[in-house]
Amino acid sequence: MLAHCAVHVEHSRGRRFLEPHHPYRNDFQRDRDRVIHARAFRRLEAKTQVFTRRYSDHFRNRLTHTLEVTQISRTIAGALALNSDLAEVLALVHDIGHPPFGHAGEKALDTAMREQGLSFDHNLHALRIVEDFEQRYAAFRGLNLTFEVREGIIKHSHDYSANEHPDLSEYLLEKRPPLEAQLIDLADEIAYNTADLDDGYEAHLLSLDEIREGVPAFERFFREVQQIYPDAPDKLKFNEALRRVLNRFVDDLIRNTQKRVEAAGIRTLEDVRNHPERLAAFSPTVESERKQSKNFLYENLYFSPALAEEKDDAERVVTELFAFWMAHPESLPHNYQQKAKEESLPRIICDYIAGMTDHFILEQYEKHCGS
């Protein structure tokens, strides 16, 4: 039984192009399967999350991170009696618009676009992917996803202004997204705030003492674990403490969101949409713990000297390739040359680079910019 304020698939606003209903999958389940079978989804396996394979094959990439966000999102949606099918597909598609090389690649691509008077936004790029780039059906371009999934792609983590983005007016920009979409960004935070501590520790870029000192929530649970398992190896104590941190974040998000929904008198999906702010949220105490963990990762991992060279290399590769194709558009693949006749050249180059895997962009850099 779904909550009254959940998105009920039978009340979906539907697809752009009418399709007959499937005999044993509802529309959100079909959207999930379309995302999983998309080429852009498969490419996430070869896109950096934080660590490249120079460190190890064991660390998260964009795909494994996405799967972890999906697991967390389904758990939260189920506990809140929300539509777990919708939450699942939104989690699976939430990072599909990211370029190669993680945030370093995104930063460089956005900088290159801004020099052309444009910008790069991975959520808006994800919408372009599912609406246009994926070509699997004879009847229409794109994946023909339901309105609720397309809306969630652009609104799960950001509120866009209708004045700045009139092209997105169909997505009810003046209203809040459903709770299923609201929880995705927070599940994403839970996933990477804990997973990046794990990978940083495994990579020996973060020591156990540094994490204990810099992340109070982890330290509190580590002391608890030491009492229960005094003879366990440090790595297993670390795992137990980190698991408890993750559980605390998830449990708090469930409980606090339910509390906020009840306090606001939310009864229907329209109540959620018309509420002046997002309802999915951590409690003030856990929100403070989340910020402490995130700040620790930025200060000690994401901008660590050990990763600086790789990030600089990534930004250089993206920047120089973008400049090369601006100067030599005839070197683009034929289909992108054709697209450039309909849209601006910078946008087409941006689309091409954003879709690349780490491996492929390095091949292209060696081919066009290598000495």
Taking all residues of the chain, what is their mean pLDDT, rounded to a whole number?
A: 95
For the chain of 371 residues, list the mean pLDDT of each consecutive stretch of 10. 96 95 96 97 91 69 96 98 98 96 94 96 96 92 97 93 91 96 98 95 94 97 97 97 98 98 98 97 98 96 88 94 97 94 95 96 94 62
**pLDDT for 52:** 64
**pLDDT for 9:** 97
Instruction: Parse the chain into domains and list their residue ranges.
Output: 27-308
**pLDDT for 33:** 98
Rounded distance, CA 91 to CA 68, Å?
A: 9
Going by C-beta distance under 8 Å and a sequence separation of 6 or more, which residues neighbour residue 233?
Answer: none
- The answer to whether the beta carbons of residues 179 and 85 sit under 8 Å apart is no
Instruction: Give Cα separations from 196 to 26, 180, 223, 246, 371 (angstroms).
Output: 35, 24, 21, 12, 35
**pLDDT for 367:** 95
**pLDDT for 14:** 96
Query: Which CATH code of 3.50.50.60, 3.40.50.620, 1.10.8.50, 1.10.3210.10 fits the domain covering 27-308?
Result: 1.10.3210.10
Bridge partners, 86 (sequence order): none
pLDDT digits (tens, 9 = 90+) for 37-56: 999 999 999 998 887 656 66
- Measured from the Cβ of residue 127, the count of other Cβ atoms closer than 10 Å reads 22
Rounded distance, CA 354 to CA 119, Å?
A: 12
**pLDDT for 252:** 98
Structure-derived torsion over alpha carbons of residues 308, 313, 316, 317, reported in degrees to the nearest 10: -150
Output helix, strand, coil percentages for the chain, rounded to the nearest 5. Answer: 65, 0, 35
- Measured from the Cβ of residue 319, the count of other Cβ atoms closer than 10 Å reads 16
